[in-house]
Structure 1
Amino acid sequence: MLGNVLGAAPAPSPRTRNDPGAAVPEPTSSRPVAPPVHRLVPSPAGRLHLVEQGSGPLVLLVHGFPEGWYSWRHQLPALAAAGYRAVAVDVRGYGRSSRPAATDAFRMRELVADAVAVVDALGERTAVVVGHDWGSAVAANAALIRPDVFRAVAMLSVPYAPRGGPKPSTVFASVGGDEEFYVSYFQEPGRAEAEIEPDVRGWLAGFYAALSGDTMPGPGAPPPYFVGPGGTLRERFPTGRLPAWLDETDLDVFAGEFERTRTRGALARYRNLDRDWEDLAEYDGVPLTQPSLFIGGGLDASTTWMADAIAAFPLTLPGLVSSHILDGCGHWLQQERPEETNRLLTDWLAALPPAAC
């Protein structure tokens, strides 16, 4: 999850010959769509794994923490059925993509370079980029740094906030009083790994539930974004049932990937916040001018924490086409509300000028 840097799912369809991993649900549209294809493409990191479905203008889907390409399983067939070449990547450090050893290999500029490499590897010149959670920040910065490649940008859960202010580490260290904000908790290499990796599946189940609209802790419960002295994040996660959007098969997919790759690469993104602040100094206060879309969850802490960023959209997103808050929805909105998210995305895409695709 990315903070202030910051409906059950359909059953999976059978795996295809081209699919060495999890299946993608069948599209709800009647338009025929070919099965998804898994590919490895070269990137500055070494290789990136992606899942591609459909043909037409390229739409690049970038996931957040702690997820993977599979978090877009509902969008791939829907976008393909709507006439787009939908491509969901495993961000470097995740899934079958490369996992560089150096922590600074996960800085924002490197992830933007990966996104550009995917567009090049697919033989395209431009793309629309869509991101969720950390993927929203990657999408926004890709559009900011390479407007020649990324002609439109959609941000899910985490709104655009231009670079500025003091160093992120200074900001986050002051949050929470006697308790530690989760972003600060993730900073020390090995610390969060020691909590997560003995029981990856159980930790993920609790984390997903803590941020889902139907299972998150109630107003009187200790917030799951903070760690008490000597405590862990997990001790504040809800237990007992999975969110409606996540069945046992879905959880197996996410857990299986992290059990294989471990979590260092995923957590390294949090350990580059100050580097990003330094790297992106030339973009201090710069607005995103491309056609844009924002979708947030009404119960998502990212939406409430960053209410000021949303209010500033007229200045920071002058190309904003529309902004939507999904009532009763938590953080994982494209999985919690797949049909609504798909409709908002396809309506927005259809309204873009041809050059934006």
Structure 2
Amino acid sequence: MNQSETLAPETLAPEILTLKHGQLRFTARAMGSGPVVLCLHGFPDTLCTFDGLLPALAASGFRGVAVAMRGYEPQSQPANEDYHAVRMAEDVAAWIDQLGDGPVHLVGHDWGATIAFAAAALVPDQIASLVALAVPHPLRFAEVYAASPEQQRRSHYIQTFQAGEADARLLADDCAELVALWRAWSPGWAIPTDDLAEVRAAIARPGVVHAILEWYRQAFDFTSHESLATQALLAGPFRAPTLGLVGEDDGCIAADVFEAAMQPRDFPGGLAVHRVAGAGHFLHREQHGRVIPLMLDWLARHR
């Protein structure tokens, strides 16, 4: 028996993988063996957001794979700057093909949840189950948003991202604006210094801040072929059994807005929604002792 076989999963360093889609390359971290759980991070965050989840997945008989999303590394920035959600869903489909081993489970946080929804609609036969953290059904969210002045206030930052000067502004003062978003979105969390350092380092890589703002800018493109394809995916329905988790104190998308946007009729494969007490937007980091067991139980029931 080699040394790695004698160690508990949480003591092992993750494998470093390179996933591909066409000419693009994506760094991934993987742990464990068994059914694949593909983990998609959001904004402003990195694949390190799942560092606490991967060992738990490995210990529960799954292969957890966390991937750096399109644009978050220079090698994953397309020359045509296409950051429509349909393209990220195609990234996910390519990763699933590369990883093999049949249908995968998707876990997505923030923008990662939106892309998980899109991927679940694009390749439904390849998705065993879906866990959406902090961001609900995209089309239903838009409907609830339109009727909620309070949610419009919370989401005003998206409008500020449309301006060209936002690129430089997000990098200014050691990414002070991004840090302020983290604190506003998770108001009860003493954010670890290392977590903020990871985000600052990622944003500072060449081209990254422009790429991640293009995610938001291209979300307001309503006429191109890519946009129409994106809208079709994000409308659902979503056939995969879906678990929605929201922090009770989320300062980005209010918990009641999240819950209103998650309707059973849109999830023919089944839907469960849980509000997590004592957590904000980064609920899987803030309350991992509550959130990870909920996810593991869901995955075990749908493996």
**Interval containing the TM-score (normalised by the shorter chain):** 0.7 to 0.9
Which residue, 109, 133, 137 being the options, matches 1:160? 137
Cα distance in 2, alignment partners of residues 193 and 257 from structure 1: 14
In the other structure, the counterpart of 1:41 is 19
Match of 1:335 in 2: 285
After TM superposition, give the deviation of residue 139 of structure 1 in Å: 0.5
Partners of 2:9 and 2:55 within 8 A in 1: no
TM-superposed deviation, 1:351: 0.6
TM-score w.r.t. the length of structure 1 is 0.73
Q: Which amino acid aligns with 1:314?
A: P
CA distance, structure 2, for counterparts of residue 31 and residue 64 of structure 1: 25
Q: Once superposed, what is the RMSD of the aligned Cα atoms? A: 2.9
State whether residues 52 and 76 of structure 1, in contact with CA within 8 Å, keep that contact through their aligned partners in structure 2: yes
Deviation of 1:201 after TM superposition, in Å, equals 3.9
Does residue 247 of structure 2 align to residue 297 of structure 1? yes
Aligned runs of 1:312-331 on 2, under 5 Å? 313-331=263-281
- TM-score normalised by L of structure 2: 0.85
Would you say 1:52 and 2:30 are equivalent positions? yes
Partner of 1:186: 161
Q: 1:120 aligns with which of 86, 97, 107?
A: 97
The separation in 2 between residues aligned to 1:265 and 1:88, in whole angstroms, is 19
Conserved in 2, the CA contact under 8 Å of 1:164 and 1:284?
no
- How far apart are residue 70 of structure 1 and its match? 0.7
Select the structure that is richer in helix: 2
Q: 1:137 aligns with which of 107, 111, 114?
A: 114
For 1:176 and 1:343, locate their aligned partners in 2 and report how far apart those are by CA, in whole Å: 29
How far apart are residue 284 of structure 1 and its match? 7.5
Are 1:108 and 2:85 counterparts? yes
Q: Structure 1 residue 286: deviation in Å?
A: 3.4
Question: Is residue 57–residue 127 contact of structure 1 (8 Å, CA) maintained in 2?
Answer: yes
Q: Deviations over 1:66-117 (max 9, x none)?
A: 11101111111111111110000000111465112433x1111110111111
Give, in whole Å, the separation in 2 of the partners of 1:176 and 1:45: 38
> 1:289 is aligned with what amino acid?
R
SS at match of 1:113: helix
SS of the equivalent of 2:44 reads: coil
Residue pairs, 1:163-312, within 5 angstroms: 181-188=156-163, 190-214=164-188, 243-244=189-190, 246-261=191-206, 262-273=208-219, 274-275=221-222, 277-283=227-233, 285-300=235-250, 301-302=252-253, 303-310=255-262
Q: Does 1:94 align with 2:72?
A: yes
Partner of 1:346: 296
Contact 2:71-2:211 at 8 Å conserved across structures: yes
CA deviation digits over 1:260-295, x for unaligned, max 9? 234111111111213465224545753212111110
CA contact (8 A) 2:138 2:234 kept: no
Offset, 1:123: 2.9
Q: Which runs of 5+ in 1 are unaligned?
A: 1-28, 215-242
Letter of the 1:257 partner, please give it.
Answer: A
